[in-house]
Amino acid sequence: AQSVTQPDIHITVSEGASLELRCNYSYGATPYLFWYVQSPGQGLQLLLKYFSGDTLVQGIKGFEAEFKRSQSSFNLRKPSVHWSDAAEYFCAVGAMENYGGSQGNLIFGKGTKLSVKP
């Protein structure tokens, strides 16, 4: 079965420091991978996505993520964190196949809450 694991529930970094949020997935074929951000009281905003091609993808707000098939990972990175990046981050996997009767379904990880110290 498809699954997404975000091993870090909560991470605190200092403003200006680099950031890496981990995401591991379980899926039998090539997955479609996404990172979403949810600010307090807000809906989800798509940061970036991987469908195929270059395994290093660039997103909005200075984020990037690297797809590593051998490690089943899709970690999110940012070289210098800003206080406004404090939010909850969700990794998600999707598939083209009609999985579980819900074509186009996304499976989400449990999220990583990011706090930023001044």
Of 1 and 70, the one with the shorter C-beta distance to another protein is 1
Stretch that binds another protein, among 14-22, 45-53, 56-64, 65-73 (CB under 8 A): 45-53
The interface with another protein within residues 49-88 (CB under 8 A) comprises 49, 51
Shortest distance, CB of residue 108 to another protein, whole angstroms? 5
- Say if residues 71 and 24 touch (Cβ distance below 8 Å): yes
The whole-angstrom separation of Cα 63 and Cα 79 is 8
- Of residues 60, 66, 8, the one with CA closest to residue 36: 60
Give the x/- contact pattern for another protein in 4-33, rule: CB under 8 A.
----------------------------x-
The whole-angstrom separation of Cα 2 and Cα 33 is 12
